[in-house]
Amino acid sequence: MNPVDPTESAGASMLGSPDNLETILDFIRWAASRMDEHGVFLGHGTLSYLDEAAWLVLEGLRLPPDLGSDWWSSRVSADEKAELVELIRRRCLEHTPTAYLLNRAWFMDQPFYVDERVLIPRSPFGDLIRDDFHGLLGAGVGTGRILDVGTGSGCIAIALAEHFPEARVIGSDIDFGALSVASRNVGDYQLSDRVDLLQSDLLDQLLDDEGQPLVFDLIVSNPPYVDPDEAEDLPDEYHHEPADALFAPEQGLALVERLLDDAPTHLQPGGWIFVEMGNGRHWFDQRWPSHRGYWVDLSPAPSSIIGFPREKLADWRGQNG
């Protein structure tokens, strides 16, 4: 009885024949063509099918993503072929995001472990951190206490700890699975002595031993902010991400509103909170047209992060709130 070639599965046959593929470059070209053919959605780390295919193939072969093109003519072994065909099949036919297939995503040019318990990192908070929060923060924040609400993979908390080397950072999340992923990443970056992970429903459980609110100089959050009514319109790739980390009631604003209402008791005088809400900016401005926040300039993209100093949170909705 002849052994079954793993590249000849029913799913693989729907992609066309990979029989003539021999080199790394062959597989990158073939993967890019199949992604285009099957309408793969890009938006979890790359902007072109060729880049997505190179990421999938190179890291699928345990090779660095910046591997020199001189190596692309290297031949792929039979076992490697079977593994690559399966990865490409899942990317094209199941629309599983590449980051989940590889258990690796990139944030601020650094790799992080991810799986389907957490969102794939793609937050503009990376740009905000790089730019030192556009000079909005008062002196001394770098040596203070920082909170990342809804930390997910922990990438933002880790980036904050690296950017503010004197700070103590807490990453909180309601989901224990997400905290497990974050713990792995914090350990990988050897930051366990400076980044603590706590389970909390937004700010509700962030209390000290005496039951008083933990207080911070800076709070950041990328909470669920997608209107549930938009779920059917999202590409299939988004349905592999945890729904509880994506969707929130009231046009996506319910958790944002809770955060802003509760933040004053968790901020030091002079402290700030920054909240990301994606396309929810339109609904936020429409619901609270006189709000007292600052949309942070992230040109050329429209800002999706709003900031409030503690002093404006008591009346953050403004006169029409």
The string of pLDDT tens digits covering residues 129-174 is 999 888 888 766 666 899 999 999 999 999 999 999 999 999 999 9
Rounded CA-CA distance 212/202 in Å is 15
**β-bridge mates for residue 226, sequence order:** 247
Per-position b or e across 249-274, b if 16+ CB within 10 A of its CB: eebbbebbbbbbebbbebbbeebbbb
Strands, DSSP E only, in 187-251? 195-199, 216-221
Mean pLDDT of 80-102: 97
Rounded CA-CA distance 27/215 in Å is 52
Six-digit token string for 209: 């031993």
CA-closest candidate to residue 204, choices 176, 179, 173: 173
CA-closest candidate to residue 274, choices 99, 129, 64: 129
Rounded CA-CA distance 214/203 in Å is 9
Helices of type H across the chain: 10-13, 24-37, 49-60, 78-93, 98-102, 125-130, 155-163, 176-188, 254-262, 281-287
Residue length of the chain? 321
Q: Are the C-beta atoms of 305 and 284 separated by less than 8 Å?
A: no
Rounded CA-CA distance 19/28 in Å is 14
Above 50 in pLDDT, residue 2?
no
CATH class of 105-312: alpha beta
Above 50 in pLDDT, residue 32?
yes
Per-residue confidence (pLDDT) for residue 216, from 0 to 100: 96
CA-closest candidate to residue 219, choices 266, 262, 281: 266
Above 50 in pLDDT, residue 251?
yes
Pick the range with the lowest mean pLDDT from 161-165, 236-240, 296-300: 296-300
What is each CA distance from 260 to 77, 100, 246, 247, in whole angstroms?
55, 32, 19, 18
The string of pLDDT tens digits covering residues 103-124 is 999 999 999 999 999 999 999 9
Per-residue confidence (pLDDT) for residue 4, from 0 to 100: 45
CA-closest candidate to residue 134, choices 279, 264, 290, 274: 274
* Prediction pTM value: 0.92
Query: Could you state, in order of their start, the residue ranges of all structural domains in the chain?
Result: 6-102, 105-312
CA atoms within 13 Å, Cβ hemisphere of 231: 15
